[in-house]
Amino acid sequence: MTLVDRVLLGPGPSNPYPEATAALGAPLLGHLDPEFLRVLDETCDRLRTVWGTANARTLPLSGTGSIGMEAAFANFVHPGDVVVVAVNGLFGERMVDVASRYGATVVRVDHEWGEPVDTQRVLDAHGSPAIVAAVHAETSTGSRSDIGELAAAVHERDDRALVLADCVTSLGGIEVKIDEWGVDIAYSGTQKCLGVAPGLAPFTVSERAWAARVPKPPTWYLDLGMIGDYVSGGAGGGRTYHHTAPVAMIASLHAALGRILDEGLDAVFARHELAGRRVQDGLEAMGLELFARKGNRLPELTTVNVPDVDSATVRRTLLERYNIEIGGGVGQYASTVWRIGLMGHNARLERAELILAALRQVVYR
């Protein structure tokens, strides 16, 4: 069987770090094996470093990134709670859907796509929400929002309100400082800047959010109390089996986090910055127009307006001729925006030069 070898420069998954791929193929361990539990503990420790948190409740959930969003609302929305959601792209939109399913009274604050979240408008939307939710790095638009500013403003007004942040496309690529910012609930995915295959959702919860959680959420699989008894040990100290952990994926995340911390977080962020700026400068030099607002562009995910060509044809040509995947846009921007990700192991200058060169060939020759 011939294996297709793609360069994954879309909005994720990205090509994993080599260490992550090697760990996937290592001998499997049982989910209760002391050797595996050591790997799990170390994975949670490494996640704390990357999240910038001391939260005891920091763990990888057993599903892809979206399961993080589901767990966040399922465990912290009490029916009737007011949840203010900043919507500036698809994932804010999705938060509205998920929060509503768990019985929230959702107050949505719509922004134009490509714009960052406006802290003052979010504050003004409701005087005493239970939860204020926003996306740090909008995967649909390539725009970064200032979660630190938002969290500080929310807590300054009302210290009971919880701040919930989607960090799926930010964790491991740009700075995330859960404790310093005062974020209470956050989740991510492994297939973006963390450089692992999709399949896990890193999750973290502050002590005050933990104390305010729904004691028995409608979901069994994502009941954080029960999961915590396995991952961190229960009240009696011992670990209680909940569900069989995806051991191979956790070993892979463990290896990728080891690689990231060996390189150093600051160096990893600088690498994302360098590669992202190179591709953004190069696209502009080609005469293309970037989509996300200047000053809020994510280095790891660049959005660019499609010039006068057929978007799908260009993407198909990139895939067929060069084995390069880039993403189309989302919703009304499906055929007018391209999304180019330089995430994790792909956040390198050689990837930036490659996509610029390939696009030049396909679009201008």
Residues that bind a copy of itself (CB under 8 A): 3-6, 8, 10, 12-13, 15-16, 21-22, 24-31, 33-35, 62-67, 69-70, 74, 94, 97-98, 101-102, 189, 191, 197-199, 216-221, 242-249, 319, 325
Residue 148 vs 217, nearer CB to a copy of itself: 217
Query: What is the nearest approach in angstroms of a copy of itself to the Cβ of residue 101?
Result: 5
Instruction: State which residue, 246 or 307, has the beta carbon closest to a copy of itself.
Output: 246
Nearer to a copy of itself, 243 or 321 (CB): 243
Minimum distance of a copy of itself from residue 347's CB (angstroms): 16
Least distance in Å: CB of 360 to a copy of itself? 22
Place of tokens 């504050």: 123
Q: Give the residue from 238, 207, 203 showing the smallest Cα distance to 223.
A: 203
Long-range contacts from 327-335, C-beta under 8 angstroms, 24+ separation: 327/10, 327/11, 329/140, 329/291, 329/303, 330/89, 330/90, 330/140, 330/141, 331/90, 331/113, 331/140, 332/113, 333/113, 333/140, 333/291, 335/306, 335/311
Helices (H), 235-329: 247-263, 265-285, 311-322
Q: How far is the CB of 233 from a copy of itself (least distance, A)?
A: 17
Give least dist CB 327 to a copy of itself, A.
8
User: Is the CB of residue 15 less than 8 Å from the CB of residue 4?
Assistant: no
Q: Give the pair of three-digit tokens for residue 51.
A: 């999240």
Largest CA distance in the chain: 68
- List, as residue ranges, the binding site: 339
Q: Which residues are annotated as a binding site for substrate?
A: 339
Q: Of the two residues 116 and 329, which places its CB atom closer to a copy of itself in the complex? A: 329
Nearer to a copy of itself, 21 or 232 (CB): 21
